[in-house]
Amino acid sequence: MSDPAAAALGTHATGAPPAVLAVTDDVATGDGARRRPKLGWFFWVCLSFVALVVFGAIFAGVLPLQDPGLQTATQNGGPSAAHWFGTDDLGRDIFSRVVYGARVSLVVGFGAIGIGLLVGGTLGMLAGYRRGRTDSIVNAGSYVLLAFPALIAVIAIVSFWGHQEWKIVLILGIFSAPLLFRVIRAATLSCASRDFVTAAQALGATDRRILAKEVFPNIAPAVISFSLIGVATIIVLEGSLAFLGASIDTNSGQIPSWGNMLNEGRTFLQSDPWLTVFPAIAMFCFLLALNFLGDRLRQHYDVGGVKL
């Protein structure tokens, strides 16, 4: 039976007032009690589209697509049932080339960001965690690299070194490292001063274990959200290089990237706009999806406070 006096005071069976219980629950649950903003339906639409593009790029060789290098008699043909996006000036199927071209653009985008994370991310975590002289030296180096005009420097290096795909990925990856360093360093600085890191240090944990077990899991949302936006930026940069004729050389039979297709179709823009329009739409939709995914993840995990 319930206690009438307790009921009159508004207490629970435990004897603690509701306000006390609410405070206790909030303390027990910690930061996880804060309600995060929902990702929204458009987030899942963008994620599905990105997954579809990645799937098509990976399995383009086994999908029922025409050979992207096959030349037919239908030159500069408009969209039709046989050729959904039409054909180019050599009679090659544009839809097939867009799907295969996604593979090149994705390799450049994700490959360059991967290199940037490996170099800049590692240095950013070390500089943000150790601080002191290590932070000062690496930080000064990042300012020097950020001072270079990236597009002009990349064009100059590619002109002397070559237009192979792996060289483009390596060069763009090196130039993306300073910005990724700034982002990850800032996230590490805010995380390294928190209580759980101090507790791990007091228990005698090594720096490697603290960085791997304590720091990295907490900065991972910021890394992922900014990396997605970085991939979109690299793809745009590669497209700019291709439009200037300084990207991957396609004369040796290499499948073109979306940027190369834009460059190839610009001379036919007035007479046969589909040569440029469809690769541009594919590139635009993919970049829009990547940027939205990165921005929504940043809002969802509340990493907007990371300052460079």
Report how many helices (DSSP H) and strands (DSSP E) the chain contains, helices first.
13, 0
pLDDT for residue 25 is more than 70: no
Alpha helices in the chain (DSSP H): 4-9, 18-29, 41-58, 94-116, 122-130, 132-147, 150-161, 165-192, 195-202, 207-209, 216-243, 258-265, 274-300
CA distance 227 to 232: 9
Query: Coil, helix or strand for 93?
Result: strand
pLDDT at site 114: 94
Of 194, 203, 148, 151, the C-alpha closest to 172 is: 151
> Cβ atoms within 10 A of the Cβ of 129, count?
20
Q: Which of 205, 194, 223 is nearest to 118 (CA)?
A: 223
Residue type at 184 in one-letter notation:
I
Work out the percent of the chain whose per-residue pLDDT is above 90. Answer: 17
Residue 251 banded pLDDT, cuts 50, 70, 90 = low
* Residue range 196-205, pLDDT digits in tens: 888 888 888 8
Residue-level pLDDT at 64:
86
Q: Of residues 57 and 300, which shows the higher confidence score? A: 57
CB distance 149 to 175 below 8 Å = no
Q: How confident is the model at residue 29 (pLDDT cuts 50, 70, 90)?
A: very low
- What's the pLDDT score for residue 6? 43
Nearest residue to 258 via CA among 234, 277, 239: 239
Quote the pTM value: 0.78
CB 296 within 8 A of CB 227: no
Q: What pLDDT is stored for residue 303 in this prediction?
A: 60
Share the mean pLDDT of the chain: 80
Q: Give the pLDDT confidence score for residue 2 in this predicted structure.
A: 44
Nearest to 200 by CA among 283, 117, 129: 129
What's the whole-number mean pLDDT along residues 280-297? 91
Residue 10 has pLDDT above 80, yes or no: no
Where in the sequence of the chain do the CATH 1.10.3720.10 domains occur? 40-300
Tens digit of each residue's pLDDT (9 = 90 or more) over 35-91: 666 778 888 999 999 999 999 989 988 888 888 877 877 787 878 887 888 888 888
CATH number of 40-300: 1.10.3720.10
What token pair was written down for 305?
């406070």
Give how far Cα 235 sits from Cα of 106, 151, 231, Å: 8, 13, 6
Residue 5's pLDDT is what?
A: 41
* 155 contacts 148 by C-beta, under 8 angstroms: no
Structure tokens, 95 = 């839809």
- For the record, the structure tokens of 120 come out as 């800049």
Contact 276, 264 (CB under 8 A): no
Let me know how long the chain is.
308
